[in-house]
Amino acid sequence: MEPKIKIEHLGKNFFSRRQTIKALDDVNMEFAPGEFVSIVGPSGCGKSTIIRMIDDLIKPTSGTITIDGFTYDNKKEIPQSFIKKLGFVFQLPNLYPWLTVRQNLYLPLKVYGMMDSEHVHHVEDLLEMTNLTEVGNIYPNQISGGTAQRIGVIRGMVHKPEMLMMDEPFGALDDETREKLNMEMLNIWKQTGMTIIFITHNVSEAVLMSQRVYVMQANPGHVKAEVKIEFDEERSLELQHTKKFINYCNQIEELIGKVDLNDVV
């Protein structure tokens, strides 16, 4: 099976007046259709930079990215038709306070020229799927932080993307809310069949959610290891108490290295 997304020899340098900072060097990754993959690693290893380059928000210095057979790099832009295949969920929901929740969800559809009945109905399906229909007509300052983040997540899916980039979307939430959203996200993934790339600093979250985990190192950012996650049971919060789950977490934490995991972003 051909990968949905393929990254080959990807590198990224950032320049200042005094120095060149090599953020990423020779990064190679593949993501299969319908796969849920997490990327973890220490601060500064370039995890967020990778998904921003996939989404063509920033350009690589070297290497290529291929989506559905179309290859682009620092000289070739990704066409709008391929951009529409991608969804992006940021660390903060960034909802416009003067718009209702539903109006915030319509914004990407307006940008892409997709305000048709099919996609408007899809917004309602997403609200229902996440039990948020009742907040559709209220404003962001009237909802909790956890609810706002859920809105930010489904906003990345209103145009029916085939691939979803998620940049540590639940990092600012308390453990209970985070775990609830993890299970909601798994349910959405199962129902939609999207390819999901999930950035997280939380090793347990990566193991719970993912089929594979890429572990990165910094200075410069590169892939240190790839860990395949396999469970016989359905993914659930109870898995976190099993020996196999704990072993996966220990393996990934050892690969990351002896750092404060609160600083792994």
Domain, as residue range, for 52: 1-79+200-265
74 lies in a domain?
A: yes
3-state secondary structure of 156: coil
162 lies in a domain?
A: no
Phi then psi for 45, rounded to 5 degrees?
Answer: -85, -5
H-type helices in the chain, by residue range?
Answer: 47-54, 80-83, 101-111, 117-129, 145-155, 175-192, 203-209, 243-256
93 lies in a domain?
A: no
State pTM to two decimals: 0.91
116 lies in a domain?
A: no
173 lies in a domain?
A: no
206 lies in a domain?
A: yes
> What CATH code is carried by the domain that includes residue 60?
3.40.50.300
96 lies in a domain?
A: no
Count of the separate structural domains present in the chain: 1
pLDDT in tens, the chain (265 residues): 789 999 999 999 988 778 888 899 999 999 999 999 999 998 888 899 999 999 988 999 999 999 999 999 888 888 888 888 999 998 888 999 999 999 999 999 998 899 999 999 999 999 998 889 999 999 999 998 889 988 999 999 999 999 999 999 887 778 888 888 899 899 889 988 999 999 998 999 999 999 999 999 998 999 999 999 999 888 999 999 999 999 999 999 999 985 444 444 3
